[in-house]
């Protein structure tokens, strides 16, 4: 990708949004999945603005893209990307578990639209969380096996964009063009297997961490110690977070739905 691009990309990965707000596991960071995710987002932006053609967002495809932008990533492209990431960094004030590898490129593309439409970062943040309550089922069908395929990528983008337009009462956006599914070649199948293995490994690590946390808390209950009320509340919150399988807690869902119903009523 060239020396200058490497410096540019490494700086972005070290900055607050990717380093503090995005939700990458230790395993994913060891595998440089954060860099792969950033390159995927850059590739989608270049498809939008430069008509760069891609067949999928697999690791091999992103590496081809990285070779393509060697000495070929303009200052204008850098400004578009950094403006979007600064916007997202303002929108999310702390680590957000929904900012996972599969969702980050989508967040980048939607933030690009939000900026052009004058949507405030705070409102974008609330919409993003609400989207995974309101359209979780529709979106999830494009996140299963083969999620790196172009048609699955565009399916996720379309689902998000449709909800974004309805939520903010925007009528002048063109839908993301659909792609006719083509036969999968051997290389893509290998990439999908790697992607599935990563998901399974991450889930196993998360499950192990949860089991360890629960066991530790059981031991604490068997050997009671005087705790302050504040410490008990903090421990209870940690236990709840460690064993939760839901993307967004029910209480947060109710709050988000109430906030958005209020937003629609005001409109």
Residue 27 counted as domain residue: no
Residue 208 counted as domain residue: yes
d(Cα 97, Cα 21) in Å, to the nearest integer? 8
Domain count, the chain: 1
pLDDT band at 195 (very low <50, low <70, confident <90, very high): low
pLDDT for 182 equals 47
Average pLDDT in the 182-190 region?
51
Residue 65 counted as domain residue: no
Residue 119 counted as domain residue: no
Residue 202 counted as domain residue: yes
* 3-state SS string for the chain: CCHHHHHHHHHHHHCHHHHHHCCCCHHHHHCCHHHHHHHHHHHHHHHHHCCCCCCECCHHHHHHHHHHCCCCCCHHHHHHHHHHHHHHHHHCCCCCCCCCCCCHHHHHHHHHHHHHCCCCHHHHHHHHHHHHHHCHHHHHCCCCCCCCEHHHHHHHHHHHHHHHHHHCCCCCCCCCCCCCCCCCCHHHHHHHHHHHHHHHHHHHHHHHHHHHHHHHHHHHHHCCCCCCHHHHHHHHHHHHHHHCCCCCCHHHHHHHHHHHHHHHHHC
Residue 192 counted as domain residue: yes
Residue in the block written with tokens 């990439």: 191
d(Cα 225, Cα 177) in Å, to the nearest integer? 61
Residue 162 pLDDT > 90:
yes
Of the listed ranges 24-28, 34-38, 60-64, 218-222, the least confidently predicted one is 218-222
Counting residues of the chain whose pLDDT is more than 90, the rounded percentage is 61
pLDDT for 179 equals 47
Residue 170 counted as domain residue: no
Residue 134 counted as domain residue: no
Q: What is the pTM of this model?
A: 0.70
Domain holding 214, by residue range, is 188-266
């Amino acid at each position: 990708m060239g020396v200058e691009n490497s410096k540019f990309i490494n700086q972005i990965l070290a900055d607050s949004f990717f380093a503090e707000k995005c939700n990458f596991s230790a395993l994913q960071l060891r595998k440089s999945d954060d860099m792969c995710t950033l390159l995927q987002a850059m590739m989608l932006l270049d498809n939008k603005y430069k008509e760069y053609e891609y067949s999928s967002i697999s690791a091999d495809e992103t590496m081809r893209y990285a070779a393509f932008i060697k000495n070929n990533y303009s200052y204008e492209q850098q400004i578009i990307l950094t403006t979007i990431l600064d916007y997202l960094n303002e929108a999310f004030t702390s680590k957000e578990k929904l900012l996972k590898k599969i969702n980050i490129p989508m967040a980048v593309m939607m933030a690009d639209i939000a900026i052009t439409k004058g949507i405030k970062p705070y409102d974008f943040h609330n919409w993003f969380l609400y989207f995974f309550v309101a359209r979780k089922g529709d979106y999830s069908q494009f996140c299963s096996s083969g999620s790196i395929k172009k048609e699955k990528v565009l399916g996720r983008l379309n689902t998000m964009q449709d909800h974004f337009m309805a939520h903010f009462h925007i009528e002048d956006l063109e839908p993301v063009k659909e792609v006719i599914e083509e036969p999968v070649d051997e290389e893509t199948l290998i990439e999908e297997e790697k992607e599935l293995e990563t998901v399974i490994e991450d889930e196993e690590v998360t499950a192990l961490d949860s089991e360890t946390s629960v066991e530790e808390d059981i031991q604490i209950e068997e050997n009671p110690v005087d705790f302050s009320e504040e410490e008990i509340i903090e421990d209870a919150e940690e236990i709840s977070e460690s064993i939760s399988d839901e993307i967004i807690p029910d209480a947060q869902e109710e709050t988000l739905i109430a906030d958005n119903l209020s937003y629609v009523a005001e409109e």
